[in-house]
Amino acid sequence: MRVLALAVAPERHAPMHEVDAIQVVAGAGIVGDRWHGTRHRHVTVQSLEDLVAAQRELGRGFLVTATRRNVTVDGPVPTAPGARVRLGDVLLEVVRVAAPCRIMDDSLGPGGAAALRRRGGSVLRALSGGVVRVGDGYRVLMTEQQPESEQMDEAEEHGTPHYSDPSVTELDSEPKDDL
């Protein structure tokens, strides 16, 4: 599985711009993106297969940037909090589902939010940093939370700085949309 598209927006409500690479900072997110430096909302990931299903339901196509997600991959995206994925060498952990909001009806047209229900991808926190490029590998590593000691071992095995916020045990309370 691979990274198919990358996009960032410099501030809330700004248009998403496709890029060839993103710099992810452990514990902070994507440099140059509107959510950089937030507590948990570091990277949003969506599945191309889910977008194609949404397009079929809508009866029309749309650009991957219209969903306002940072990363589009060609495989399933886990939604369970604690699940881990790797984009290139960057380790990420699912915080929550990236629920579509009413803005999707504006960017995708009427029915956009409904078509993305259960297809909006996930919000993840960056456990390690690095550069992610279009074409990099994408792997789902685990689907439930693993002990802190195993998190550290995995990050060290890949030579990447590790980030963990042990005070976070609940889903984050940031807004559901990523305007």
Sketch out the chain's domains with CATH numbers: 3-9+17-157 (2.40.33.20)
| pLDDT reported for residue 17 | 93
Residue with tokens 């790797």: 86
pLDDT score of 59: 83
Q: In what order do the strands lie in the sheet with 90-97?
A: 17-19, 3-8, 71-73, 43-47, 122-126, 90-97, 84-87, 138-142
Got the DSSP string for 57-94? Answer: HHTS---GGGGT-SEEESS----STT-EEEETTEEEEE
Residue 150 structure tokens: 């195993």
CB 70 within 8 A of CB 33: yes
Beta-ladder partners of 23: 131
CA distance 169 to 72: 27
pLDDT, position 50: 86
d(CA 154, CA 125): 16
Compute the residue count for the chain.
179
> What pLDDT, on a 0 to 100 scale, did the predictor assign at position 41?
82
The model's pTM is 0.74
For 98-131, letters b (16+ CB in 10 Å) and e give bbbbebbbebbeeebbebbeebbbbbbbbbbbbe
The rounded distance, in Å, linking the Cα atoms of 141 and 76 is: 12
Chunked into runs of 10 residues, the chain (179 residues) has average pLDDT values of 94 89 95 86 90 83 82 94 94 87 66 70 94 96 56 41 35 38
The rounded distance, in Å, linking the Cα atoms of 32 and 10 is: 6
DSSP state of 143: S
| The pLDDT value given to residue 164 | 39
Rama region for 118: left / alpha / beta (φ>0; ψ in -120 to 50; rest): left
pLDDT of residue 102: 65
